[in-house]
Amino acid sequence: MDGFYKKGNCKVRSDTHFMVRKGITINTVFATIVVVALTSICIILDDKSNYMLNWLGIVVYLYAILTWKWERKESFFSIYTIFFTFFFLFNYGQSVMWALGIGWDRGIGTGVLYYGSGIIPTESQIITAKWYTSISMLLFHYGAILFADNRTGKTVTVISTEKAKQDRVLLYKCGCVVTAIVAPLAIYQSVNELLIARTYGYKALYYGEMATQSGYIQILLFLFFPALICLLIGSNFNKRVTIAVLLIFLIYTVLRVMSGDRGSWIYSLVILIWVFAQRKKIRLREVVLWGIIGVLGLYMLNVITDVRNSGLDSLSIESFINGFSIENSPIVDIFFEMGGSMGIITFFLIVGNGIYPYGNTYVTAILGAISSRVLSLLGIEQVFISNWFSQDYLGISWGTGFSMIGEAFVNGGFFGGFIYVFIIGIIIGRMLSRYKNWRDIEQNPIGAFVSIAVLNIVSGLARSAVYLVIKEFVYGVLIILLMVWLLRQIQYRRLM
């Protein structure tokens, strides 16, 4: 065992396991050369670089994942790589398929970009969008990795075992209270949304008189996933507590899937898999086995959907064969659907950011995080940029969503957008780099809770706007941290 020495009531550790190696690894140097070389080729090809740019984005993704592993000494399956993978899929998913020669007749550029806009992007405009997205992903990664929580050459104070136990107890108490209130509410709301979706359609959950995605109930639901993480970490993954948490999450997820939701529960599921993977290492053969089962399950669901739509009479060997073809692949559909978020930056690169008539959305998000009344007192109009773009600008009754890169462009223009993306990379990189494995969870349970809960919040940022992320952080993570602080103060007063 590595040695500890006492410093007050805490144990202090300064071994190299808590240190990031100084300098840049040779692997990172070679990987950077590859990225620069491919970028240079695309620049030389100019307007003929459309196909090569598909691969440039893929190389940028691999570069980010590999360099994070090499420089941070983390596994390929880490908090940061989970975020960056979602970031990549939402902003470059369609280009991945095009790079593989799949779906050239699908996606951005094959029709009107957004209903009511009349804009059909040209090849040159799509090239610009790919360039902008690739550079944005690269700058985000540089912001994250350059300003990550490096502890090189520093003596790190580790919370004592007794202090960690106390913090776990506090988290568990908070988790019990919040879950007892929020979990039944979340399940009730999910049942209600299922009934609305079956009667009026999935879009009715977001728009119209039956909309459920706003109000006080939605704010309370921001506590749902953080409370479950409190129970897991606080109980130190007690078997009964873990089963209860998984059962609650399973019921919630099934209801969300049945109502048509294909969003937030996916992020939470992947994060839970990561958490359990830290406690019990998953073998490669298990990953392969479950991967194969998952892929086959997706294809079988695709076949079942086709049969349901066309009737049992269509069930035949040919229907199974067609269901497993590349053209009908649900995996291809996922890439094209998720990758559609690149349409936002494509659109704004064409029309410019001047069409947005309001102020900086980041300022609005920060000032209005606690309450929109603050904005009213300051004379600032509260505008959700995604709603404005869909309902006010395009005049459609459903939502197009938005994107982190698109919002950065709207606020900063062409070059200012790059600066904003870099800054967001710094913030998210700092928050996701402090706690990376099971040892960190054991030694600093509250810090681990924050990182895991924040990952659940920011995973969808690639396809949304900052306002909702900050709102969810304030009413989800900060509320629980405030509860922990209050409980700690009560304990101290009792001991005095």
The predicted model gives 97-115 an average pLDDT of 89
Which of 203-217, 222-236, 272-286, 481-495 reaches the highest mean pLDDT? 222-236
What pLDDT shows up at residue 228?
Answer: 95
C-beta separation of 126 from 50 below 8 A:
yes
- Given a cut of 60, whether residue 394 has pLDDT beyond it is yes
Least confident of 4-18, 194-208, 423-437: 4-18
Mean pLDDT of the chain: 82
Which of 261-265, 400-404, 488-492 reaches the highest mean pLDDT? 400-404
Count of C-beta atoms within a 10 Å radius of residue 370: 13
- Given a cut of 60, whether residue 153 has pLDDT beyond it is no
- Given a cut of 60, whether residue 420 has pLDDT beyond it is yes
The predicted model gives 478-496 an average pLDDT of 86
Q: Give whole-number Cα distances, 275 to 192, 266, 292, 376, in Å.
A: 30, 14, 22, 41
- Given a cut of 60, whether residue 14 has pLDDT beyond it is no
- Given a cut of 90, whether residue 90 has pLDDT beyond it is yes
What pLDDT shows up at residue 40?
Answer: 93
Per-residue pLDDT band for 196 (boundaries 50, 70, 90) equals confident
What pLDDT shows up at residue 193?
Answer: 78
What pLDDT shows up at residue 422?
Answer: 97
- Given a cut of 70, whether residue 160 has pLDDT beyond it is no
What does the alpha-carbon distance between residue 229 and residue 232 come to, in Å, rounded to a whole number?
A: 5
For the chain, how many helices (H) and strands (E)?
21, 3
Least confident of 61-70, 167-176, 432-441: 432-441
What pLDDT shows up at residue 21?
Answer: 42
Q: In terms of Cα–Cα distance, which of 297, 339, 322 is closest to 99?
A: 339
C-beta separation of 457 from 473 below 8 A:
yes
What pLDDT shows up at residue 19?
Answer: 38
Q: In what order do the strands lie in the sheet with 156-158?
A: 5-7, 10-13, 156-158
Check residue 473 and give left, alpha or beta (phi > 0: left; psi -120 to 50: alpha).
Answer: alpha
Q: What is the DSSP letter of 331?
A: H
SS3 259: coil
Q: At 354, which helix (H) or strand (E)? A: none
What pLDDT shows up at residue 303?
Answer: 57
What does the alpha-carbon distance between residue 305 and residue 109 come to, in Å, rounded to a whole number?
A: 28
- Given a cut of 60, whether residue 99 has pLDDT beyond it is yes
pTM for this predicted structure: 0.85
What's the length of the chain? 496
Task: Kindly report, residue by residue over 312-356, the tens digit of the pLDDT.
Answer: 444 455 555 555 565 667 788 888 888 889 999 999 999 999 999
Task: Kindly report, residue by residue over 240-258, the tens digit of the pLDDT.
Answer: 999 999 999 999 988 887 7
Least confident of 94-103, 314-323, 402-411: 314-323
What pLDDT shows up at residue 486?
Answer: 92
- Given a cut of 60, whether residue 491 has pLDDT beyond it is yes
Per-residue pLDDT band for 44 (boundaries 50, 70, 90) equals very high
The predicted model gives 80-98 an average pLDDT of 94
- Given a cut of 60, whether residue 310 has pLDDT beyond it is no
Which of 315-324, 396-405, 447-456 reaches the highest mean pLDDT? 447-456
Per-residue pLDDT band for 260 (boundaries 50, 70, 90) equals low
Least confident of 100-109, 143-152, 302-311, 393-402: 302-311
Task: Kindly report, residue by residue over 227-243, the tens digit of the pLDDT.
Answer: 999 999 999 889 999 99
What pLDDT shows up at residue 316?
Answer: 55
